[in-house]
A and B are shown apart, each in its own frame.
Chain A
Amino acid sequence: MFRAQRISVVFFLGLLLCLTRSLAVAQVAAQTAIATNAPAGQPLSQRVVAYTIDAKVDTQKKTVDATETLDYKNLTGQPLDTFPFHLYLNAFRPQSTFAYETHLGGGIRGSAHDYPKDEIGGITINQISADGYGDLTQQMQFTAPDDGNRNDHTVMQVHLAKPLAPGETIHFHLTFHDKFPLSVARNGYKRDFVMGGQWFPKIGVFWHGAWNCHQYHATTEFFSDFGTFDVKLTVPNRYTVGASGVQVGEQKNGNGTKTLHFYGEDIHDFAWAASPHFIVVDENFQNSMGTVKLHGLVLQAHANQAKRYLSVLKRTMQKFDEWYGVFPYKQMTLIDPEPGSEMFGMEYPTLITAGTSWWAPQSLPIGLETTTEHEFGHQYWYGMVATNEFEEAWLDEGINSYTEAKVMAALYGKQTSAIDLHTDRMSDLETQRLGYLSIPDYDPLTRWAWKFYNANSYGAITYGKTATALTTLEAVVGEPTMQKALHVYFERYKFKHPTGTDFLNTISEVSGRNDLGPYFQDAVYGTKMLDYAVVDAASEPVEWWKSPPKHYKGPWRTVVAMHRKGDFVFPVTLEVRFSDGSKTREHWDGADRWIRYTYVKNAKVVSAEIDPDHKILLDSNYFNNSYVVAANGTASWKLANYWMFVEQFMAQFASWLI
């Protein structure tokens, strides 16, 4: 056999082998895309972690006993000898940083004044080991990287005798025990409903050259790496369970329990909810990647609202698909949590909790619809674009509040997307602005979540100001450009951990504007207030020193003046209307503190209005944005009438004893 022949035979055989192997890999890969509609089943994210958990849920005692295997792949490019884990459930003790911060500055959830016994919860790791490293249980030590509180047990770390080399994978094996608190901060149980959120030891994120594993704070949410979750949950037979990912198996155990098997991939957390009172409502949603099963688990008490849940979920998905990008998972699970619990309105990858009450009318989308929309929005802004919620909460809650306002306006009307009563209305966007203005200038958007002045400021700025500021930015770059910028941001950073700078750079890049720096400086990094006012709008005869004849028709000299009351400089438009029906628009860069315009016309001024198109949402006071020469008392008398009616009612109520 000639050498050349041998070479060609070897080459041919090699080629065949390669082809067969890649076909086989492709086949395996196709089979392994269990929970996503990824084309050819390829991973959508860089899978750093793989969790396998087998958990037995005691729905009587509200406890979990579980074994966990965590495969952690060192993709950091450097050796790692320390591994921190979040033990979030340990926040629910009076000694924790979470409890103290809630006591000090309030919390989004939780009681500020005492620590009720039944709200005590916790997680205990009974044993931890790693293949090749032996038993690490004695190595475990609690750390408090944020505030040094030794009694805060929400972060634990283990130290390895020899470091894990770059590219290597370590296999941790843990057994742990959860004690759920009575519903607090999205967690625990209410009646016979159990919410498994932040319930297992979860490793931190090696990010920007260091471990990022913050303690659980009163106002913070979460941050973790993408990977796969293979979870078995054993519950009583009468329970229905909803979980992240998809259900891949169910086994009856013969002792009154069943084991449900779930699998999730390209997600960074895994949550579940269990109740014996769920009714199941399923629907399908079709997008360009395939079919998404909308899996609603709604309490029997709210059965009348199951359709509303599914409807808003589907319509929201449609809008996100249209505006920002495709939803790649096979299933989206919606949980209707127990009324009166703190489990409502929370996002987890491919699972959300919404919330309603049996009487909630459709004319108040601010309840069920807003919550469902908001939590679904987090599938994009948190679920896939997985920003650091501890350090840059505005990137998930804020961007999500902005898109919430947009989607809600599209679905329920621009002015009526929060309240749509016969006599009253309110838009979702206005609820955001209202939130912002409730405490607008204590903190910038970019402050780390637990460093805000208090929980109210955190909420006002993170949700309200971000939504308001991004909407105001539309006045500069245009609404379609903002939509495109968010689309690009999503596509570019899905399944990654971008930062605020990445987001702002994307806006600048997409809009082609390199002059947005000052706006970002004030709106994002600063706390300045924006407020413009019309301070003068009057006409007088040009020859003002003469008394005008009886039917004087002009010429009139009109003077209109604007005052920039706040320190936030923003270009504004002024519209002046005259008695002959004419109107004129002026554009002012707002750099000085005030500006005056003079007109000489055969008509008098009727009104002057700043921002006539109502685009500058950051303006803290709309009422001083305009001046109408002819007074109209309808609004003031209308309010006085309400005030009077309520006063009279209160007076009668107070005097009922007499």
Chain B
Amino acid sequence: MNRLLANRNYSPFRAGLRLALANKRLLLWVYLATLAVGLAAALPFHARMASVLDHSLAAQSIAGRFDVSSYVLLMMNLGKHGTSLYMQAFAAILGYCVVSNILAAGIYYVFATGEVPRLAVVVRSGIEYFWRFFRLLLFVLILAGPVLAILAALRRLLLKHADNIYVGRQFFFISLATFAVFALVALFFRLWFDIAEASVVQLGLDGNRRVRRVLFPSMRLLRKQFAPAYFGYFSIGCIGWAVFFFLTWLWMAAVPPHAVLLAWIVGQLATLSLLAARIWERGLATAVVALAEPETVAHTAVFTAPVWQTIPAETPSTLPASNPQETASSEQDNTRSPE
């Protein structure tokens, strides 16, 4: 186990932050993937734009204070090139999703084991867990999809009703409030599945390849530590978005129109802020799993003894009361129902 998780006095919020800060290289790998996806879309786009703009005086309407109509006309005139540029951008996003699947597993692995976050470690472990994470994603869609769809439908219904009565600012706040409810539920699902992902990796360390049957024990874990986990998770999201919005505002408000490099740096910092928040969230999920009370662990019969036995000796008080019988039964359980 990662020794950073050994201190049980830490809240998941704080423990997640410690994990993220101790593994800054993870942010680098994730950022490089994001940079790659950005470049994959932007370079062909630039080549196309350069052929139209680089020798044109009309480019001033783009280079200086941005003339929206010039940009729209440029896009309208892309024709066939437009389709291929959009396809490339779309394909790059699909590729990014695949890479994200690998990186996510790698991040949990590094968090759980405390291994040095070298790219090789992240990628190797990411590939190892790739299909398990992919299956988990399918379960996510099956479980969260209908709930969120029903919520969205309810929200639409409610707003339709509200629209008959409220207008202007009042309606906006109703719309915002209902969206907040939707977003908070979606966040709950995301946290649940983050914990499930962390659990899958924890179990995987012991050769346990469970995926589906991790979901409900993860929910129990979440329930046990709901307040610190959920509000911590929520806070991280808020911090990430706040920094993101601040930087994009700064970009628009303070970066001179011609300062492309400066704009690029600010834009990338904004991108980084969301990536960093996501890694922190994964750290929190790992902490929720690792900091679970031993009884919960035993009760859920998911987390096996060896994980806990790796906790360093300098924090003996945090060792869970290992129960060999329960551990054994857990392992039997594993062999009975492989997935």
Interface status of B239 (Cβ within 8 A of chain A): no
In the complex, which of the residues A426, A427, A648, A656 contacts B271, with contact meaning CB atoms closer than 8 Å?
A: A648
Given contacts A424-B66, A623-B74, A647-B92, whether A637 and B274 have CB atoms under 8 Å apart is: no
Cα A626 to Cα B89 in complex, Å, equals 30
Q: Within 8 Å CB of A24, what residues of B?
A: none
Closest 7 CB pairs of A and B: A301-B168, A640-B46, A644-B42, A430-B69, A635-B59, A358-B168, A635-B62
Cα A179 to Cα B133 in complex, Å, equals 58
Contact mask for chain B residues 27-59; partner A; CB cutoff 8 A; 1 contact, 0 none? 000000011011111110110011011111111
CB distance A301 to B68 under 8 Å?
no
CB distance A658 to B104 under 8 Å?
yes
Cα A652 to Cα B45 in complex, Å, equals 20
Interface status of B70 (Cβ within 8 A of chain A): yes
CB distance B57 to A647 under 8 Å?
no
CB distance A643 to B100 under 8 Å?
no
Cα A195 to Cα B71 in complex, Å, equals 38
Cα A639 to Cα B42 in complex, Å, equals 9
Interface status of A569 (Cβ within 8 A of chain B): no
CB distance A631 to B55 under 8 Å?
yes
Interface status of A299 (Cβ within 8 A of chain B): yes
Cα A214 to Cα B112 in complex, Å, equals 76
Given contacts A634-B260, A641-B260, whether A647 and B59 have CB atoms under 8 Å apart is: no
Which B residues, 223 to 278, have Cβ-Cβ distances below 8 Å to chain A? 252-253, 257-258, 260, 263-264, 267, 270-271, 274-275, 278
Interface status of B142 (Cβ within 8 A of chain A): no
Q: Within 8 Å CB of B97, what residues of A?
A: 651, 654-655, 658
Interface status of B313 (Cβ within 8 A of chain A): no
Given contacts A622-B70, A640-B42, whether A651 and B93 have CB atoms under 8 Å apart is: yes
Interface status of A338 (Cβ within 8 A of chain B): yes
CB distance A422 to B172 under 8 Å?
no
CB distance B77 to A621 under 8 Å?
yes
Contacts A/B (CB < 8 Å), 13 sampled:
A301-B168, A340-B163, A358-B168, A422-B252, A622-B56, A622-B61, A632-B59, A635-B54, A639-B71, A643-B45, A645-B270, A647-B41, A655-B97
Cα A232 to Cα B37 in complex, Å, equals 66
Give 6 A-B pairs besides A301-B168, A639-B62 with Cβ atoms closer than 8 angstroms. Answer: A299-B168, A340-B167, A419-B68, A422-B252, A426-B69, A651-B97
CB distance A191 to B165 under 8 Å?
yes
Interface status of B218 (Cβ within 8 A of chain A): no
CB distance A655 to B96 under 8 Å?
yes
Interface status of A74 (Cβ within 8 A of chain B): no
Q: Within 8 Å CB of A340, what residues of B?
A: 163, 167
Interface status of B65 (Cβ within 8 A of chain A): yes
Q: Within 8 Å CB of A434, what residues of B?
A: 69, 72-73
Cα A131 to Cα B165 in complex, Å, equals 47
Cα A641 to Cα B76 in complex, Å, equals 19
Nearest-neighbour CB distance to chain B for A473, whole angstroms, equals 20
Count: A-B pairs, CB below 8 Å:
195
Interface status of A357 (Cβ within 8 A of chain B): yes
CB distance A423 to B37 under 8 Å?
no
CB distance A651 to B96 under 8 Å?
yes
CB distance A358 to B68 under 8 Å?
no
Instruction: Give the interface centre of B39, B53, B100 by most chain A CB atoms within 10 Å.
Output: B53
Which A residues, 313 to 369, have Cβ-Cβ distances below 8 Å to chain B? 338-340, 357-359
Given contacts A340-B163, A634-B59, A652-B275, whether A425 and B67 have CB atoms under 8 Å apart is: yes
CB distance A626 to B57 under 8 Å?
yes
Interface status of A499 (Cβ within 8 A of chain B): no
Q: Within 8 Å CB of A643, what residues of B?
A: 41-42, 45-46, 89
Interface status of B169 (Cβ within 8 A of chain A): yes
Residue of A nearest to B171 (CB): A339
Interface status of A302 (Cβ within 8 A of chain B): yes
Which B residues, 149 to 207, have Cβ-Cβ distances below 8 Å to chain A? 163-165, 167-172, 190
Footprint of B on A, CB under 8 Å?
191, 299, 301-302, 338-340, 357-359, 415, 419, 422-427, 430-431, 433-434, 437-438, 607, 609, 621-629, 631-641, 643-645, 647-652, 654-658
Q: Within 8 Å CB of B167, what residues of A?
A: 191, 299, 301, 338-340
Instruction: Give the interface centre of B58, B252, B275 by most chain A CB atoms within 10 Å.
Output: B58
Given contacts A622-B58, A636-B53, whether A301 and B96 have CB atoms under 8 Å apart is: no
Given contacts A426-B68, A652-B34, whether A641 and B42 have CB atoms under 8 Å apart is: yes
Interface status of B140 (Cβ within 8 A of chain A): yes
Interface status of B328 (Cβ within 8 A of chain A): no
Given contacts A425-B68, A623-B52, A643-B41, whether A609 and B63 have CB atoms under 8 Å apart is: no
Q: Within 8 Å CB of B43, what residues of A?
A: 640
Q: Within 8 Å CB of B278, what residues of A?
A: 652
Nearest-neighbour CB distance to chain B for A171, whole angstroms, equals 43
Residue of A nearest to B89 (CB): A647
Instruction: Give the interface centre of A338, A358, A647 by most chain B CB atoms within 10 Å.
Output: A647
Interface status of B101 (Cβ within 8 A of chain A): yes
CB distance B56 to A627 under 8 Å?
yes
Q: Within 8 Å CB of B53, what residues of A?
A: 623, 635-636, 639
Footprint of A on B, CB under 8 Å?
34-35, 37-43, 45-46, 49-50, 52-63, 65-74, 76-77, 89, 92-93, 96-97, 100-101, 104, 133, 137, 140-141, 163-165, 167-172, 190, 252-253, 257-258, 260, 263-264, 267, 270-271, 274-275, 278
In the complex, which of the residues A301, A635, A658 contacts B49, with contact meaning CB atoms closer than 8 Å?
A: A635
CB distance B168 to A628 under 8 Å?
no
Cα A214 to Cα B96 in complex, Å, equals 57
Residue of B nearest to A640 (CB): B46
Cα A177 to Cα B302 in complex, Å, equals 73
Residue of A nearest to B52 (CB): A623
CB distance B258 to A634 under 8 Å?
yes
CB distance B57 to A609 under 8 Å?
yes
CB distance B59 to A636 under 8 Å?
yes
CB distance A424 to B65 under 8 Å?
yes
Instruction: Give the interface centre of A622, A623, A645 by most chain B CB atoms within 10 Å.
Output: A623
Cα A632 to Cα B253 in complex, Å, equals 24
CB distance A652 to B274 under 8 Å?
yes
Nearest-neighbour CB distance to chain A for B269, whole angstroms, equals 11
Q: Within 8 Å CB of B163, what residues of A?
A: 340
Given contacts A423-B257, A643-B45, whether A626 and B38 have CB atoms under 8 Å apart is: no
Q: Within 8 Å CB of B61, what residues of A?
A: 622
Q: Within 8 Å CB of B40, what residues of A?
A: 647
CB distance B253 to A635 under 8 Å?
no
Nearest-neighbour CB distance to chain B for A625, whole angstroms, equals 6
Residue of A nearest to B136 (CB): A658
Cα A644 to Cα B268 in complex, Å, equals 9
CB distance A191 to B164 under 8 Å?
yes
Q: Within 8 Å CB of B165, what residues of A?
A: 191
In the complex, which of the residues B56, B62, B89, B133 contacts A628, with contact meaning CB atoms closer than 8 Å?
A: B56
CB distance B260 to A654 under 8 Å?
no
Q: Within 8 Å CB of A629, what residues of B?
A: 55
Residue of A nearest to B90 (CB): A650
In the complex, which of the residues B41, B96, B141 contacts A644, with contact meaning CB atoms closer than 8 Å?
A: B41
Cα A654 to Cα B101 in complex, Å, equals 12
Cα A138 to Cα B133 in complex, Å, equals 76
CB distance A626 to B58 under 8 Å?
yes
Q: Within 8 Å CB of A425, what residues of B?
A: 65-68
Cα A622 to Cα B260 in complex, Å, equals 23
Cα A639 to Cα B137 in complex, Å, equals 34
Cα A310 to Cα B179 in complex, Å, equals 35
Cα A438 to Cα B253 in complex, Å, equals 31
Given contacts A339-B167, A419-B68, A647-B89, whether A636 and B54 have CB atoms under 8 Å apart is: yes
In the complex, which of the residues A191, A438, A628 contacts B57, with contact meaning CB atoms closer than 8 Å?
A: A628
In the complex, which of the residues B63, B171, B275 contacts A638, with contact meaning CB atoms closer than 8 Å?
A: B63
Nearest-neighbour CB distance to chain A for B68, whole angstroms, equals 4
